[in-house]
């Protein structure tokens, strides 16, 4: 399909995150954002003087602040700079990343500081998410972001035992990764021998979605600095190149359930992957990628969506889980950071995905670093009514 | 037997009555069980704004039984262990109505371990034993002084603090001519150091005397850091202020001609859908446009009222309404119904009658799920609630 | 990849005090259809729109992810959509970046806002302030602008009479604009006697509560003529953030405006704003801002706003022929309304307001109290 040549390349040269947590009563929002900004600037070896554009976002109805970037100027360093604000719900962080890429690639800006944050403890998370529904109808029916429909679909297809075990295996792998990530919010230290017990006893929230499966609610911020090729090469030893990205939204409703296989819609995840891989000449994603930081709001979705993102069929994705190929030492590590189930400061979460992927490409992820060269990385964002943002990152130019 | 945090499981239960908050018990009428392996079982009964806690082997009739190991149970109750994390990772489990357990959180003030009390003599020894360590050299620049402490009474003693060249040495006994001498009884000194009485009160009532350089007396507070009783360190962290506020801005949502027509239809017990002129799919509730074809939908069709259930999402956890705090009773079922006249994925979402939830069979492809029909509210005003719920069509 | 981007089509509904009879979706669909008709553009993944930039505010819409309900009517089903949560003019700048970066060829922009939906727009803007001090003290975008008004009136020798002249003129101009909010024509006495909202801002000095929606189709230079014979080019863009805390700012200094101009003028090669612009559209939410912003962009000398009005500067430089924000556009879309006027003027479609031979326009937008964040867009024929 037609795709224009990128005007100029963009590299990520700095990454910063707060330690995601459930209680950041020790900081105000601008202070929390500032922690991530400082870390990113230090990581890049820059000061605010070197930045010419700030891109900021979150899901404002959680904290009920109107245009928070105005207040956050105290912590973002936006004073005197060009500043943009984009918000697209759960995908916000990834959208901000794409926006940073667009703004720098366009030639309008050379160095962009991209910031996503959320202080969920300051608001009412479920209330905030429920307010996403149409006020005249679905708002009275929706239960925040919870739905058991995905679990139902996977169970229908593969049978309860296999499906539940795969979801729990996925969960434990994610937790083991989180235990190696000092920035992760929740790291329980789950052991393999707890699997049966957890499956039996973890409290059900809705349908087959259990509390252990569900992502956390966190306070946190993430900042990423991106620069045009010339500056990226001058300022960094190991810029991580943004090769391409795609955003795919869906209509307002969530009637994508699988109970009518003949009319079941293609998931945006698969559509995004198909478009992105085709226009970049990637024919075997599982082979091509060295890491996938996927936005996994629950272990069920994590398992299910791998089939969509990797363009697999049948039970290939279950096998990746069952054979632990998605673990850090596996063939295609997924969420070495612990993923969204471990840390979910919503406005930042989708930015943490490419940020963590960049750390992996650079070899800077510390204890949760993948022990092999990471040259090609994939990161995804999720939100809204099953929207997807998919980002392609490379260690070397010249793809 | 004390647990990890120096607090016994029994302490938590034994102090429930004194920590009880009757205002949190409004509307609560149930028994809650606690099963702490190795320690025992307790039953908490709440009714009419009063509570009763007793050890009990038999926890039948409890709306929920919470099970946790002693350390986790104590840790959560004193705020040292994150309750949600413990629950999620299985360290705390609940058998029965999980939602009901959350009502118990408002019933009690947090358990605070009682402060260890020392005797006056023990305090005096500790206070003077830590005086050197509490010296703050940055306040003593250029000072060359001696301060005498004449603490009276059986538990008292005499000490001298010598400050010179930014260093402080404390020795027992009173120096000959200190620059400043504090003369006060042991009990009063202890109360003063613990913040139970202030210096002005002691001085003006003659319970304390100061001899020598009065300017130095004023400086004492800067020369030595505040005394912290043993075990008090943990609470000395800066108090984090949190501002609580409910924000609400009144709204007047327009319904527009499309949603408006649909809502009006409900008043007449009609479920109206609109249809895409290109792909023919129905949308209920209707939307201005067909998102797939991107064309305006202006054709209307009445659908249902009956349909078959394609999926039921059974909710065990109901989030409280942020404005009212109310929760829907669980379990409840949000179902997706294919109304007569609709096809494929054109489902309609609403609730299932609570007492029929377990009898609903879900459809799959051609197989139809349970046939249901809407139960209309007596008074209909053009809202979601005009349909109370769907029930089995029998 | 080139340095300019085309606006190929524009559609808007009328600015109104209370669009109680339509939801946002209906308002936006009324903008989408004309754009599709005017240009014949499709949503084909290869040749058509595959990315949409929207603009709306979650607090004003009382809807988390306020673009979620709009996906259908902006055509974003299985397409990209990114919401700008600032004045919509920034959305045009961002869409420009999407195109100049090479990521997209054709971008649809759609914005909506209803100030009539919440019980008070001041309650909403009060929420922009920190919960600990500024918010409880009662700051909102009206009061903070009143501080600015007082400071500026002192600085520039601006009087109540000057302000009245600005308002009267705004309404007269708007009467020639079929899409402008219909307001009673105001006389000088009406304005001078208008009750104070927040001293020195009188009721008639403030833009009235307004609902509106609008859309534009933007396209890369190479393909602009596929969609229109009269593209209007965006040749410059810049924005800038000033300090948050009102006490840290010099409210009349036009700090963020001057910086935004630096960037935009640099891009577009503007040397002398007094001569280079045929059309100037300033986002004057409050009457005192018109002369103040004129200083900021270089039309009037520092502190000379009052004199500039007296010397007929507003008409001489064709400032706010649309009626400006002052006549009524909703917050979030003020800058878009300014760009719309520029667009119409450059295409010769401004009817009674038309400036013959208009070749270059400046559009300005603001976000935040007392113009904390400002945006400049430069349009050329």
Quote the crossing angle between the two packed helices C289-297 and C160-174, to the nearest 10°. 90
Contact call for residues A382 and A297 (beta carbons, < 8 A)? yes
Residue A185 has pLDDT above 70, yes or no: yes
pLDDT tens for A188-241 read: 999 999 999 999 988 888 889 998 999 988 999 999 999 999 999 999 999 999
Other CB atoms closer than 10 Å to residue B57's CB: what's the count?
A: 7
The torsion angles phi and psi of A171, rounded to 5 degrees, stand at: -60, -45
**φ, ψ at A56 (rounded to 5°):** -130, 150
Q: Where residue B35 sits, what CATH number does that domain have?
A: 3.30.1050.10
CA neighbor of B228 nearest in space, from B194, B197, B198: B194
Structural domain range at position A57: 10-126+219-235
Same domain, B92 and B203: no
Q: Please give the Cα distance from C337 to C91 (Å, whole number).
A: 13
In Å, how far from its chain's centre is CA B201?
40
Q: Say how far apart CA B196 and CA A383 lie, in whole Å.
A: 55
Is the complex ipTM higher than 0.95? yes
Distance of CA A348 to the CA centre of its chain: 8
Within this chain, do residues A286 and A183 fall inside the same structural domain, yes or no?
Answer: yes
Q: Do B319 and A64 touch (CB under 8 A)?
A: no
CB A358 within 8 A of CB A15: yes
CATH number for the domain that contains residue A330:
3.40.47.10
Phi, psi of B43 (to 5 degrees): -125, 125
What is the distance, to the nearest Å, from the Cα of residue B67 to the centroid of all Cα atoms in its chain? 19
What does the pLDDT look like over C314-352, one tens digit per residue? 999 999 999 999 999 999 999 999 999 999 999 999 999
Q: Output the six-digit token pair for A103.
A: 């703004």
Residue C290 CB: number of other CB atoms within 10 A?
30
Tell me, yes or no, if A136 comes closer than 8 A to chain B by beta carbon: yes
Q: Are residues A182 and A327 in the same domain?
A: yes
Q: Is A156 on the interface with B (CB under 8 A)?
A: yes
Distance, CA of C337 to CA of C113 (rounded, Å): 12
Rounded CA separation C326/C345 (Å): 19
| A98 and A151 inside one domain | no
Question: Does residue B387 lie in a domain region?
Answer: yes
At residue A380, the 3 state secondary structure works out as strand
Helix axes A346-362 and A92-105, enclosed angle (nearest 10): 60
Per DSSP bridges, beta strands B157-164 and B167-172 are antiparallel
What was the pLDDT predicted at B112?
81
Q: Would you call C73 an interface residue with chain A, using a CB distance cutoff of 8 Å? A: no
Q: Is the same domain home to B66 and B161?
A: no
With CB atoms and an 8 Å threshold, state whether B90 touches A257. no
Please tell me the distance from the alpha carbon of residue B276 to that of residue B262, in angstroms, as a whole number.
16
Two structure tokens written together for C320 = 């706010």
Partner residue opposite C118 with nearest CB, options B250, B287, B292: B250
Say whether both B169 and B198 belong to one domain.
yes
Three-state DSSP at A57 gives strand
* Structural domain contains residue A178: yes
Domain count, chain C: 1
* Separation between Cα atoms, residue B271 and residue B293, nearest integer Å: 23
Asked if residue A103 and residue A16 are part of one domain, the reply reads yes
pLDDT for B246: 82
Which residues make Cβ contacts (< 8 Å) with residue B195, sequence separation at least 6?
none
A2: tokens are 């037609």
One domain, residues B379 and B350? yes
User: Residue C375 falls within a domain, yes or no?
Assistant: no
Residues lower than pLDDT 70 in chain C: 1-2
Which residues partner with A249 through β-bridges?
C77
Helix, strand, or coil (residue C380): strand
**Domain-embedded: residue A3:** no
Number of H helices, E strands in chain B: 10, 20
Same domain, A166 and A261: yes
pLDDT in tens, C133-150: 999 999 999 999 999 999
Query: How many CA atoms does the CB half-sphere of A167 hold within 13 Å?
Result: 33
Would you write out chain B's pLDDT as a tens digit for each of its 394 residues? 456 677 889 989 999 988 898 888 888 899 999 999 999 999 999 998 899 999 999 999 999 999 999 999 998 888 888 888 888 888 898 888 877 888 888 888 888 877 767 889 999 999 999 999 999 999 898 899 999 999 999 999 999 999 999 999 999 999 988 999 999 999 999 999 988 888 878 888 888 888 888 778 878 888 998 888 776 655 556 677 888 888 889 999 999 999 999 999 999 999 999 999 999 999 999 999 999 999 999 999 999 999 999 999 898 888 777 667 677 888 899 999 999 999 988 999 999 999 999 999 999 889 999 999 999 999 999 998 999 999 999 9
**What is the Cα–Cα distance from C72 to C45, expressed in whole angstroms?**
16
- A239-252 in b/e form (b: 16+ CB < 10 A) is bbbbbbbbbbbbbb
pLDDT band at A2 (very low <50, low <70, confident <90, very high): very low
Nearest CA to CA, how far is B263 from chain A (Å)? 9
One domain for residues A181 and A294? yes
B283 and B274 in contact (C-beta within 8 Å)?
yes
pLDDT of residue B216: 83
Residues A334, A389, single domain; the answer is yes
| Residue A136, in any domain of the structure | no
Find out whether the peptide bond into B305 is cis, omega within 30 degrees of 0: yes
B361 close to B309: Cβ distance less than 8 angstroms: yes
Q: Which domain holds residue B363?
A: 256-392
> Phi and psi for C14 in degrees, rounded to 5?
-80, 140
C-beta atoms of B294 and C43 within 8 A: yes
Is A276 in the same domain as A303?
yes
Q: Are both B102 and B128 inside the same structural domain?
A: no
Residues A190, A326 share a domain: yes
| Binding partners of B (≥3 Cβ pairs within 8 A) | A, C
CATH at residue C222: 3.40.47.10
Give the pLDDT score at B79.
81
Provide the angle, in degrees to the nearest 10, between the axes of the packed helices A160-179 and A149-158.
120
d(Cα C180, Cα C320) in Å, to the nearest integer? 12
Q: Among candidates A336, A301, A306, which has minimal Cα distance to A319?
A: A306
The closest CB to that of C82, out of A67, A95, A131, belongs to A95
Model pLDDT, residue B316:
86
- CB-CB: which of C26, C114, C123 is closest to B288? C26
- Residue C184, in any domain of the structure: no
Residue A229 and residue A110: Cα distance in Å, rounded? 9
Between CA C370 and CA C372 the distance in angstroms is 6
Residue with tokens 């002084």: B145
Which residues on chain B place their C-beta less than 8 Å from a C-beta of chain C?
Answer: 243, 245, 247, 249-259, 287-292, 294, 296
In chain C, residues with a C-beta closer than 8 Å to the C-beta of B291 are: 71-72, 77
- The pLDDT value recorded for residue B1 is 46
Q: What is the C-alpha to C-alpha distance for residues A308 and A150, in angstroms, rounded to an integer?
A: 13
Exposed/middle/buried for B203, CB within 10 Å: 0-12, 13-18, 19+?
middle
What residue numbers bound the domain in which C18 lies?
5-119+209-227
In degrees and rounded to multiples of 5, residue B217 shows phi and psi of -55, -40
In this prediction, what percent of chain C has a pLDDT beyond 70? 99
What SS3 state is found at C147?
A: helix
Token pair, residue A359, equals 């750390």
- Residue B93 sits in the same domain as residue B168: no
Output the CA torsion C280→C285→C286→C289 (10° steps).
-40
Q: Note whether residue C301 is domain-resident.
A: no
Task: Judge: A190–B316 Cβ closer than 8 Å, yes or no.
Answer: no
**How many domains is chain A partitioned into structurally?**
2
């Amino acid at each position: 399909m037609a795709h224009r040549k990128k005007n100029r390349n963009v590299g990520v040269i700095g990454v910063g995150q707060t330690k995601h947590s459930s209680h950041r009563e020790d900081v105000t929002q601008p202070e929390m954002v500032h922690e991530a900004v400082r870390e990113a600037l230090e990581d890049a070896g820059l000061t605010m003087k070197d930045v010419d554009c700030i891109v900021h976002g979150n899901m404002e109805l959680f904290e009920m602040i109107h245009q928070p970037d105005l207040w956050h100027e105290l912590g973002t360093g936006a004073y005197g700079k060009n500043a943009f604000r984009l918000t697209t719900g759960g995908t916000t962080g990834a959208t901000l990343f794409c926006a940073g890429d667009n703004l720098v690639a366009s030639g309008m800006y050379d160095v962009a500081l991209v910031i996503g944050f959320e202080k969920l403890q300051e608001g009412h998370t479920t209330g905030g998410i429920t307010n996403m529904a149409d006020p005249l109808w679905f708002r009275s029916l929706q239960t925040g972001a919870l739905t058991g429909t995905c679990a139902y679909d996977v169970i229908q297809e593969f049978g309860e035992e296999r499906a539940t075990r795969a979801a729990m295996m996925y969960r434990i792998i994610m937790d083991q990764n989180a235990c190696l990530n000092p920035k992760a919010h929740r790291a329980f230290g789950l052991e393999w021998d707890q699997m049966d017990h957890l499956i039996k006893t973890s409290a059900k929230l809705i349908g087959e979605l259990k509390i252990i499966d569900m992502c956390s609610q966190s306070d946190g911020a993430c900042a990423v600095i991106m620069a045009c090729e010339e500056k990226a090469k001058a300022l960094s030893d190991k810029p991580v190149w943004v090769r391409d990205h795609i955003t795919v939204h869906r209509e307002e409703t969530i009637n994508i359930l699988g109970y009518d296989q003949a009319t079941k819609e293609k998931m945006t995840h698969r559509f995004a992957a198909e478009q992105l891989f085709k226009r970049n000449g990637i024919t075997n994603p599982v082979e091509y990628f060295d890491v996938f930081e996927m936005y996994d709001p629950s272990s069920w979705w994590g398992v299910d969506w791998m089939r969509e993102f990797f363009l697999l069929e049948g039970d290939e994705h279950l096998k990746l889980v069952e054979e632990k190929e998605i673990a850090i030492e596996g063939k295609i590590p997924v969420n070495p950071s612990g993923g969204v189930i471990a840390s979910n400061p919503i406005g930042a979460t989708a930015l943490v995905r490419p940020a963590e992927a960049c750390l992996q490409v650079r070899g800077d992820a510390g204890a949760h670093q993948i022990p092999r060269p990471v040259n090609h990385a994939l990161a995804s964002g999720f939100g809204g009514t099953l929207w997807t943002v998919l980002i392609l990152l490379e260690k070397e130019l010249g793809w | 037997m004390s647990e990890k945090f120096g607090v016994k499981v029994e302490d938590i239960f034994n102090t429930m009555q004194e920590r009880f908050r009757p205002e949190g018990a409004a509307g609560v009428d149930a028994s809650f069980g606690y099963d702490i392996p190795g320690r025992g079982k307790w039953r908490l009964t709440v009714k009419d704004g009063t509570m009763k806690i007793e050890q009990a082997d038999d926890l039948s009739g409890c709306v929920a039984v919470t099970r946790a190991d002693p350390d986790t149970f104590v840790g959560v109750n004193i705020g040292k262990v994150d309750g949600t994390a413990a629950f999620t990772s299985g360290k705390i489990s609940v058998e029965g109505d999980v939602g009901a357990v959350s009502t118990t959180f408002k019933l009690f003030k947090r358990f605070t371990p009682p402060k260890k009390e020392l005797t006056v003599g023990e305090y005096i020894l500790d206070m003077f034993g830590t005086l050197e360590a509490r010296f703050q050299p940055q306040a003593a620049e250029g000072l060359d002084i001696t301060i005498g402490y004449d603490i009276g009474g059986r538990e008292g003693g005499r000490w001298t603090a010598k400050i010179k060249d930014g260093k402080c040495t404390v020795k027992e006994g009173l120096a000959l001519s200190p620059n400043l001498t504090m003369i006060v009884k042991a009990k009063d000194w202890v109360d003063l150091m613990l913040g139970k009485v202030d210096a002005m009160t002691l001085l003006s009532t003659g319970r304390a005397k100061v001899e020598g350089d009065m300017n130095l007396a004023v400086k004492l507070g800067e020369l030595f850091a505040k005394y912290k009783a043993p075990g008090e360190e943990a609470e000395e962290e800066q108090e984090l202020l949190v501002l609580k506020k409910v924000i609400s801005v009144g709204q007047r949502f327009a319904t527009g001609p499309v949603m408006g027509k649909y809502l009006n239809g409900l008043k007449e017990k009609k479920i109206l859908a609109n249809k895409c002129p290109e792909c023919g799919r129905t949308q209920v509730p209707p939307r201005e446009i067909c998102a797939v074809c991107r064309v305006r939908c202006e054709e209307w069709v009445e659908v249902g009222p009956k349909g078959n259930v394609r999926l039921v999402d059974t909710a065990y956890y109901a989030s409280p309404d942020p404005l009212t705090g109310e929760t829907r009773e669980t379990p409840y079922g949000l179902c997706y119904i294919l109304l007569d006249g609709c096809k494929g994925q054109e489902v309609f979402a609403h609730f299932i009658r609570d007492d029929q939830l377990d009898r609903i069979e879900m459809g799959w492809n051609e197989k139809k799920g349970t046939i249901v029909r809407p139960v209309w509210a007596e008074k209909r005003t053009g809202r979601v609630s005009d349909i109370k719920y769907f029930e089995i069509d029998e | 990849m080139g340095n300019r981007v085309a606006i190929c089509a524009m559609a808007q509904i009328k600015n109104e005090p209370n669009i109680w009879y339509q939801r946002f979706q209906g308002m936006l669909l009324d903008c989408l259809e004309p754009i599709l008709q005017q240009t014949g553009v499709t949503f084909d993944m290869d040749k058509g729109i595959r990315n949409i930039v929207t603009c709306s505010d979650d607090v004003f819409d009382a809807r988390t992810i306020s673009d979620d309900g709009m996906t259908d009517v902006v055509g974003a089903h299985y397409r990209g959509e990114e919401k700008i949560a600032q004045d919509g003019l920034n959305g045009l700048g961002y869409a420009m970046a999407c195109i100049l970066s090479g990521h997209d060829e054709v971008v649809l922009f759609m914005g909506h806002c209803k100030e009539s939906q919440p019980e008070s727009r001041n309650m909403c803007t009060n929420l922009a302030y920190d919960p600990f001090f500024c918010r409880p003290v009662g700051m909102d975008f009206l009061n903070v602008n009143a501080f600015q008004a007082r400071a500026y009136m002192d600085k520039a020798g601006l009087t109540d009479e000057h302000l009245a002249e600005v308002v009267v003129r705004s309404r007269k101009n708007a009467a020639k604009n079929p899409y402008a909010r219909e307001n009673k024509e105001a006389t000088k006495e009406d304005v001078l006697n208008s009750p104070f909202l927040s001293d020195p801002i009188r009721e008639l000095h403030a833009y009235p509560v307004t609902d509106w929606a609008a859309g534009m189709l933007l396209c890369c230079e190479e393909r602009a003529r596929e969609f229109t014979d009269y593209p209007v080019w965006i040749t410059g863009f810049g924005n800038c953030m000033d300090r948050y805390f009102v006490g840290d700012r010099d409210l009349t200094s036009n700090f963020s405006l001057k910086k935004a101009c630096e960037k935009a003028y640099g891009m577009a090669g503007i040397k002398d704003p007094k001569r280079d612009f045929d059309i100037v559209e300033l986002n004057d939410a409050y009457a005192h801002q018109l002369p103040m912003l004129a200083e900021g962009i270089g039309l009037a000398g520092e502190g000379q706003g009052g004199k500039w009005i007296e010397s007929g500067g507003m008409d001489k430089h064709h400032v706010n022929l649309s009626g400006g924000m002052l006549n009524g556009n909703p917050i979030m879309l003020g800058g878009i309304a300014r760009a719309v006027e520029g667009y119409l003027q450059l295409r010769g479609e401004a009817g009674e307001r038309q400036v013959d031979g208009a070749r270059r326009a400046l559009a300005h937008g603001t976000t935040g109290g007392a113009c904390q964040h400002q945006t400049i867009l430069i349009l050329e024929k």
